[in-house]
Structure 1
């Protein structure tokens, strides 16, 4: 029973992990309420949560060494709830709305950084891997339900969209009563002195850098797909925003079940699950690039969702296998930062490389995914991680 309570407590917070972008569906309506405000400023309501989250990932790991992770999660959920609900009744100032978006994002930053630490702390082996998959499934489920509920509430008045964040109260209570109380374990040296974050990072297994690199590449390639999907659909004369939204919704829906059934996916793909995830992304890009059929594009979107719920839990699982318990907060904090950073800078990075929008960006993303697949399969990296060989090699 205690184990089940812990499972519920951990995955409940995952439902808020992607809640920062929910207000995006109301941008047009909000812009009408602030006619003298540039649309670029209004659009910050969808990007500021990402910035707030990114800033918190830089400090959350260090805080988790000295403060209970449960308390940090409760703080994160509280920030999401307050930053989300306040605009429902205090919405006459665009500056106020932007400030609330930043606070909301900071809450998301605590949740997304601490969540994988708790999964690593409370679960072992394949149970940990399975829970990481379920966690991603719950993230997709939460995003889908909250986005739909927000659209319904805000149909007549965009102010009401923000009431959807009241769901945070439910999550807060679930975490408060179901998640076990933990004691922070400060990282100590043999002399008993506290190590700095930099000292901890320097002591990490060097192979962790390859997982970070894979996560960064995934962020760039996946963002290239999402950012250029509507351009591809328009270029093929398949429709506009509605069609793009429908195709994306198919992916979100499939992502829920793919995450919840991740342990079955892993049974088929192990020990090349990470490579399989990038292969799924390659399939997504190929189908979208070559096909002009909406149904096929929906299938491609499903593969995109499977990519995320395959690669992300596998990456965190492998990171936990290459880390000592005292290193987990720092490792997961860097993981969350790289994940957020890659998505944030992907459009600029692709632009710096002079890759045109639309189909060329798909080719670029496909090339990145293919390189990762080949390298993982040729080197047998995943098999070496799971067998413990890389830990032994590092020790020598």
Structure 2
């Protein structure tokens, strides 16, 4: 029973860790409240959280070696709760919503790192692997539930959608009661290891990180523009946006499960496939705007993302030494955060160069961007696969 309570405490954290996605369901409503704000200014509601999450992720890893992780989790949850509820009471200026996103991002980044560390410390062997899988399921499932709830609450007023962050209070109670403080206290060995010299990150890690960064620039177009696109095309309301984002997250679960099979068959070409399938989904929005194509684009985007991110981790495991692994993973996650945060700046700037732009222009821009990236990743896949095969010893006959 005790072990079940500990698992519940860990999984409850995973359930709320992607709460920042709540903002994606009300972006169109926020744009209507601030008609003088530019498209990029509205999208920064999402990107501010992504930007804040990155340094918090790195800092949480350091703090985990010196502070009790239960205290870190409670701090992260409290920051997310304060940030999430801020727009409920202060929503007449964009700066308040930006501040909300920054606080949510700090809490999210801190929580993501700490959850992984806690699972690594508390569970071993097959049980640990099972917990990793359950965390992914709860993370995606929690995202779906919260976006659906936010979509329903925001029907009359977009700021009411932020009441969904109140779910975090339940998580805080579960963590307080069931996560044992003594089990997640800092260990002297870990602190000593933290002070040890770090191995340099291999060049190959920077290369895969750059490719994933570029993919995230094109991929993030959907989450940043879905709400605005659905509203401008008259295809639905905040509940419709929540359903679309939920489909994307749900497809991501499926993509994560099938990644091992895909990688076994097509190896690193899986990144090319991810770029291509995401581009096809966005192309449908350009060719035939409808709620059906919105849902199809959501599904393809979710699949593309869930196939591409694990590839980077797989590539790092093949190229980095054990001493380089920690710094390599940190650098890799930095690339993904930068790509998502830079997406509105780059895609909007490129879309602005297209004459007679309309509401689907950003998706057309992403299609072209991802198509070019598909070609680049095919060349990269051929070269790296060839180099890998050449370095492997011949199989004895």
The alignment's TM-score, normalised by the length of structure 2, stands at 0.72
The reply on whether 1:379 has 2:384 as its aligned counterpart is yes
State whether residues 45 and 101 of structure 2, in contact with CA within 8 Å, keep that contact through their aligned partners in structure 1: yes
Match of 2:343 in 1: 346
Q: State which drifts further: 105-114 or 224-233.
A: 224-233
Q: Deviations over 1:64-111 (max 9, x none)?
A: 343344433332122111222344356677655543432222111212
How far did residue 54 of structure 1 move? 3.4
CA distance in 1, matches of 2:265, 2:207: 16
The reply on whether 1:167 has 2:163 as its aligned counterpart is no
Match of 2:279 in 1: 285
Match of 2:304 in 1: 307
Match of 1:107 in 2: 107
Match of 2:51 in 1: 51
Match of 2:357 in 1: none
**1:215-364 to 2 correspondences below 5 Å:** 215-224=212-221, 239-240=233-234, 242=236, 246=240, 249-250=243-244, 252-253=246-247, 255-256=249-250, 258-259=252-253, 262-270=256-264, 272=266, 275-289=269-283, 292=288, 294=290, 295=292, 298-316=295-313, 319=316, 330-350=327-347, 356=354, 357-364=362-369
The alignment's TM-score, normalised by the length of structure 1, stands at 0.72
Q: Deviations over 1:137-184 (max 9, x none)?
A: 433322222122123233334453332111112223444524752535
The unaligned stretches of length 5 or more in structure 2 are 355-361
CA distance in 2, matches of 1:29, 1:263: 34
| Change over 3 Å in CA distance of 1:87–1:208 after alignment to 2 | same
CA distance in 1, matches of 2:9, 2:387: 30
**1:5-44 to 2 correspondences below 5 Å:** 8-26=8-26, 39=37
How far did residue 44 of structure 1 move? 5.2
| Change over 3 Å in CA distance of 1:352–1:83 after alignment to 2 | closer
The reply on whether 1:366 has 2:366 as its aligned counterpart is no
How far did residue 344 of structure 1 move? 1.2
CA distance in 2, matches of 1:228, 1:154: 17
CA distance in 2, matches of 1:148, 1:102: 22
CA distance in 1, matches of 2:312, 2:191: 23
State whether residues 271 and 311 of structure 2, in contact with CA within 8 Å, keep that contact through their aligned partners in structure 1: no
**1:135-146 to 2 correspondences below 5 Å:** 135-146=135-146
| Change over 3 Å in CA distance of 1:145–1:79 after alignment to 2 | same
Secondary structure, in 3 states, of the residue corresponding to 2:155? coil
State whether residues 84 and 100 of structure 2, in contact with CA within 8 Å, keep that contact through their aligned partners in structure 1: yes
Q: Deviations over 1:245-285 (max 9, x none)?
A: 85884463253265267345424543756542541331231
CA distance in 2, matches of 1:324, 1:3: 34
**1:44-83 to 2 correspondences below 5 Å:** 45-83=45-83
Q: Deviations over 1:321-374 (max 9, x none)?
A: 766777666444433332221111134345677874442431221221342244
CA distance in 2, matches of 1:9, 1:317: 29
Secondary structure, in 3 states, of the residue corresponding to 1:304? helix
| Change over 3 Å in CA distance of 1:117–1:162 after alignment to 2 | same
The unaligned stretches of length 5 or more in structure 1 are none
